[in-house]
């Protein structure tokens, strides 16, 4: 196994599903030495090191997380990890002896997994990746530790290097929203595989992200920054903007809707670190456009990610530029072009190599814990998986 795929410091063997899953670094003073910013965290709970480069990180309801790899020319693991007990309870109940993730289910994909979605209230997963000519449907077994492929959904993608973005409509009859371009957008019933909605347009603009908002509505973001809200009960008449603003030419964008509080609820992130906030009632007039202090433009815009905190007002996180995750409070943002500073930066994926040099794998994804407002999970290109808390150091003074 390549050395960059795990951290050997204080690595211990675990009796897990597959021997390629490496151990966990337990909490200790040596841990803070290895990961420099952890002294700033309230509780850097867990670090897990897996054998595949992680692309997706999804919190499940039964309970635990899903992780998947996206390396090319090899099989990639899809793992269902059970959270340590201390991360599964909603309130602090003291110390727990078990601090490691446990692999509950696992499987292997013959291709890269660039996107992975859990179908709520089922034991089904859907993955997208390269080659992008189909989506794969998986089932998490009830009576064994296996995640097995059960069917495919043909997407008729003509270009071999494009892979479909996707989202899940959760209902009594779940549907998969997918497409690589606006022209190929459609909703497919998961059981019958019949198309229940399609854009029906010839616009070939490339998509970067899709998000289901409710039973009838979804949001799309194009790589150019073009945003739209679509009602599937009507023909294609989205409420949309066409560009995020001036100065963004040549960059790539992703977006997420869902901000809490009275302010704007859509955030759009550019590969140069620009962050645009929008009100869904008027997508043509950004509420603010700011510049985040990123070390460089994203080296892989496919990994750009912006997420709203589900348990905090006006709080979001960004990643995909380097080995960090930045957390922001957008309450006081306004106007165009201002520089902003994060409330907190997680640097735990940056560590010292054997020669004492800083090595910085790229953060590939992050997500917020649904019940613990200040807890996040993040994964990086060295196959490390972190769970960490953050504190607003400015407010604490």
pLDDT in tens, the chain (397 residues): 222 222 212 122 222 222 222 223 222 221 211 122 222 222 334 555 655 566 666 555 456 888 888 888 888 999 998 877 666 555 555 545 566 788 999 999 999 999 999 999 899 999 999 887 899 999 999 999 999 999 999 987 666 789 999 999 998 899 999 999 999 999 999 999 999 999 999 999 999 999 999 999 999 999 999 999 999 999 998 988 866 654 445 689 999 998 777 777 999 999 999 999 999 988 988 999 999 999 899 999 999 999 999 999 999 999 999 999 999 999 988 778 889 999 999 998 887 555 555 567 899 999 998 888 999 999 888 888 888 999 887 665 5
Residue 113's nearest CA partner among 382, 302, 349, 324 is: 302
Q: What is the pLDDT of residue 57?
A: 61
User: Which residue is it, tokens 């190929």?
Assistant: 184
Q: What is the pLDDT of residue 25?
A: 26
Q: What is the pLDDT of residue 72?
A: 82
The CB-side HSE value for 16 (13 A sphere, CA atoms) comes to: 24
Q: What is the CATH topology of the domain spanning 251-392?
A: Methylamine Dehydrogenase; Chain H (2.130.10)
Q: How far apart are CA 176 and CA 189, in angstroms?
A: 6
Q: What is the pLDDT of residue 132?
A: 79
Q: What is the pLDDT of residue 336?
A: 84
Q: What is the pLDDT of residue 87?
A: 61
Query: Phi and psi for 377 in degrees, rounded to 5?
Result: -120, 140
User: Which residue is it, tokens 């995909």?
Assistant: 320
**Domain limits of the chain?**
251-392
Q: How far apart are CA 265 and CA 259, in angstroms?
A: 4
Peptide bond into 131 cis (omega under 30): yes
Sign of the alpha-carbon dihedral angle for 14, 16, 19, 25? negative
């Amino acid at each position: 196994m390549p050395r960059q795929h795990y951290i050997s410091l204080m690595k211990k063997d675990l009796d897990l599903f597959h021997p390629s899953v490496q151990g966990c670094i337990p909490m200790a003073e040596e841990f803070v030495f290895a990961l420099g910013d952890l002294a700033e965290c309230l509780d850097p709970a867990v670090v897990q090191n897996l054998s595949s480069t992680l692309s997706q990180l999804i919190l499940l309801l039964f309970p635990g997380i899903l992780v998947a790899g996206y390396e090319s020319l090899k099989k990639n693991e899809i793992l269902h990890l059970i959270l340590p007990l201390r991360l599964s309870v909603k309130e602090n109940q003291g110390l727990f002896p078990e601090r490691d993730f446990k692999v509950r289910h696992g499987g292997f994909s013959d291709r890269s997994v660039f996107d992975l979605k859990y179908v709520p209230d089922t034991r089904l997963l859907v993955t997208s990746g390269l080659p992008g000519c189909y989506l794969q449907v998986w089932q998490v077994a009830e009576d064994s530790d296996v995640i097995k492929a059960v069917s495919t959904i043909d997407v008729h993608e003509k270009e071999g290097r494009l892979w479909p973005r996707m989202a899940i409509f959760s209902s009594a009859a779940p549907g998969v929203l997918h497409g690589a371009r606006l022209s190929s957008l459609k909703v497919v019933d998961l059981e019958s595989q019949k198309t229940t909605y399609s854009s029906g347009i010839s616009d070939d603009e490339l998509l970067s992200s899709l998000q289901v908002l409710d039973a009838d509505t979804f949001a799309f973001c194009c790589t150019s920054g073009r945003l739209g809200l679509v009602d599937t009960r009507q023909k294609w008449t989205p409420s949309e903007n066409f560009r995020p603003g001036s100065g963004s030419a040549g960059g790539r964008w992703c977006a997420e809707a869902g901000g809490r509080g009275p302010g704007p609820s859509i955030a759009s992130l550019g590969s140069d670190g620009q962050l645009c906030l929008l009100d869904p009632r008027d997508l043509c007039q950004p509420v603010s456009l700011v510049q985040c202090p990123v070390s460089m433009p994203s080296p892989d815009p496919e990994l750009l990610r912006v997420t709203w905190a589900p348990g905090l007002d006006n709080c979001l996180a960004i990643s995909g530029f380097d080995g960090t995750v930045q957390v922001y409070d957008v309450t006081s943002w306004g106007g165009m072009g201002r520089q902003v500073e994060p409330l907190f930066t997680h640097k735990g994926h940056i560590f010292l190599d054997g020669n004492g040099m800083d090595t910085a794998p790229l953060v590939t994804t992050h997500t917020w814990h649904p019940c613990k407002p200040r807890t996040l999970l993040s994964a990086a290109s060295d196959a490390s998986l972190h769970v960490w808390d953050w504190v607003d150091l400015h407010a604490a003074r």
